[in-house]
Chains A and B, each alone.
Chain A
Amino acid sequence: NAGVTQTPKFQVLKTGQSMTLQCAQDMNHNSMYWYRQDPGMGLRLIYYSASEGTTDKGEVPNGYNVSRLNKREFSLRLESAAPSQTSVYFCASSGIGGSYNEQFFGPGTRLTVL
């Protein structure tokens, strides 16, 4: 099992360009998440999808859109990139069970917006 995979690993954009970050999981998890990681701020939730066909805003959704394409895939789109979106983006997934949901993370996408 590959777990959670993300593409691309690195990307450089110019202000105003658009791009889509791809995420896929092979653990048959219902829930998927997109986070951004900035120095000194930990991880902040952008959007999440509790199940196929649903998406919800997290802590910092402005400037982003998401699509839960199917149970495996959850993409994050930047329609018009801004320098403030320079960050490392992590996708995660979790299953159902017990009193908690352990989240499994992908390796991340390092995005620079010039």
Chain B
Amino acid sequence: GDSVTQMEGPVTLSEEAFLTINCTYTATGYPSLFWYVQYPGEGLQLLLKATKADDKGSNKGFEATYRKETTSFHLEKGSVQVSDSAVYFCALIIQGAQKLVFGQGTRLTINP
């Protein structure tokens, strides 16, 4: 079946450090890929997305590139801030399907 695997957390970094959160997927069809972010006490918000191979999604300084050859969609940011502390979820949806498939989430803490 379809699945998403994220790097295990928690991840703790200092402010201005470089961030990578790994995400790989297994899909039976042609997925669209997403990163969602969940700030403390809130629901999930879409951070960025990519709908086909080699697409790069970007938002708020975060980027992720849809790599079909490695079935990956790693999240990166060049210089993190304390306000980026949150839980990050990688997810996919198969074209024409209704259901998002989520990874288990990665908790990120940024220290000043």
Interface residues of A (CB under 8 A from B): 4, 31, 33, 40-45, 48, 50, 56, 58, 90, 92, 98-108
**Dominant SS among interface residues on chain B:** loop
Q: Which residue of B lies closest to A6 (CB)?
A: B43
A56 to B46, CA, bound (A): 24
State the Cβ distance, A33 to closest chain B Cβ, in Å.
8
Tell me how many residue pairs across A and B have CB atoms closer than 8 Å.
Answer: 55
Chain A positions within 8 Å of B98 at CB level: 31, 48, 50, 56, 101
Please give the number of chain B residues whose Cβ is less than 8 angstroms from any Cβ of chain A in the complex.
22
Kindly state the separation between the CA atoms of A44 and B34 in the bound complex, as whole angstroms. Answer: 16
Cross-chain contact of B102 among A4, A43, A48 (Cβ < 8 A): A43
Give the complex CA separation of A45 and B104 in angstroms.
13
**A27 to chain B: closest CB distance in Å?**
13
Determine the residue in chain A with the shortest Cβ distance to B8.
A40
A31 to B100 CA separation, bound complex (whole angstroms): 12
Q: Which of A4, A41, A48, A104 is the one whose CB lies under 8 Å from B104?
A: A41
Q: A42-B104, A42-B105, A48-B99 are in contact. Are A99 and B89 (CB under 8 A)?
A: no
Q: Does B17 contact A (CB under 8 A)?
A: no
- Contacting residue for A105 out of B43, B51, B93, B95, CB 8 A: B43
**Are A100 and B95 in contact (CB-based, < 8 A)?**
yes
13 pairs from A and B in contact (CB 8 Å cutoff): A41-B104, A42-B89, A43-B100, A44-B102, A50-B98, A90-B43, A99-B51, A102-B46, A104-B46, A105-B36, A106-B43, A107-B42, A108-B42
